[in-house]
Amino acid sequence: MTERFTVSLDKDLAESFEAYRQRLGYASRSEAIRDLLRGFMARERAEGDPDGGCVGILSYVYDHHRGGLGDQLTEAQHAHHDLTVATLHVHLDHDHCLETSILRGPLKRVREFSQQFIARRGVRHGDLHLVPVRVEADQHSHGDHVHAHEHITPHD
């Protein structure tokens, strides 16, 4: 079911929003507003439930010549293997590497782990994008055995 409502904006804000909508390629104002509201509501939900599940995308650039920093980052990921799903490593130039790690777990732990990375000396451009999720245990059979797994669903 869809509900309609009217929003009034002053001229400058309406023009800024229209430029934003066009720049990002939204087909309608409604789609742009829905995405903005979903993002806002997801952040609100996450702040209210720090032990709730999330998927995090942690990205950072670091100088791989800085005194063992690459090894320290790898060791930290191993120490938190329960949070780290996968990491992509890209060589940007002779000195700098970009890494993006997919993290999964309780929001508070994912945020704390990410902040430890971002705050390290030699790490630049660190950023964490959080997606609050519902995690539900499930199982079903595959012929002769039962298979258990989790369903991870983003919050609307």
Mean pLDDT of 5-13: 91
Sheet holding 84-91, edge to edge: 84-91, 96-106, 53-63, 123-142, 145-154
Is residue 97 annotated as involved in ligand binding?
Answer: yes
pLDDT tens per residue, range 103-121: 999 999 999 999 998 999 8
Is residue 65 annotated as involved in ligand binding?
Answer: no
- List the domains of the chain with CATH numbers: 11-48 (1.10.1220), 53-154 (3.30.70.1150)
Residue corresponding to tokens 């994008």: 129
Is residue 78 annotated as involved in ligand binding?
Answer: yes
pLDDT tens per residue, range 48-101: 777 788 899 999 999 988 888 888 888 989 998 999 999 999 999 999 999 999
pLDDT bucket at 134, cuts 50 / 70 / 90: confident
Q: Which residues pair with 147 in a beta bridge?
A: 140
Is residue 142 annotated as involved in ligand binding?
Answer: no
Q: pTM here?
A: 0.73
Dihedral of alpha carbons 28, 34, 40, 46, sign: negative
